[in-house]
């Protein structure tokens, strides 16, 4: 379900999508859309992190050119 398509879904369809994801199904249509969008965004972030779980940036120690 794309975020732009959520507006076209009926409340019953939104509730079904939320139920499939184990989310609360109460509230107004806007509440349901916002909840589903938040879920999708959090999944996107966690998927991006899971793609590189061991990724660590190297620590860089800067030295002044005056140090010898």
Does 10 map to a domain? Answer: yes
pTM reported for the whole predicted model: 0.65
Does 26 map to a domain? Answer: yes
Does 23 map to a domain? Answer: yes
d(C-alpha 23, C-alpha 35), whole Å? 8
Does 59 map to a domain? Answer: no
d(C-alpha 3, C-alpha 21), whole Å? 15
Q: Which domain holds residue 16?
A: 6-51
Residue holding tokens 């998927």?
Answer: 47
Query: How many structural domains are present in the chain?
Result: 1
Q: Report CA dihedral (25, 29, 32, 34) to the nearest 10 degrees.
A: -170
Does 31 map to a domain? Answer: yes
List, for residues 8-52, the tens digit of each pLDDT value: 999 999 999 999 999 999 999 999 999 999 999 998 888 766 666
- Per-residue burial over 35-62, b = 16 or more CB atoms within 10 Å of its CB, e = otherwise: bbeeebeeeeeeeeeeeeeeeeeeeeee
């Amino acid at each position: 379900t794309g975020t732009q398509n959520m507006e076209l879904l009926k409340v019953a369809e939104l509730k079904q999508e939320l139920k499939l994801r184990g989310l609360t199904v109460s509230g107004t249509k806007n509440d349901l859309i916002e909840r589903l969008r938040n879920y999708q965004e959090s999944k996107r972030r966690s998927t991006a992190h899971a793609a590189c779980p061991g990724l660590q940036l190297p620590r860089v120690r800067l030295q002044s050119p005056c140090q010898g």
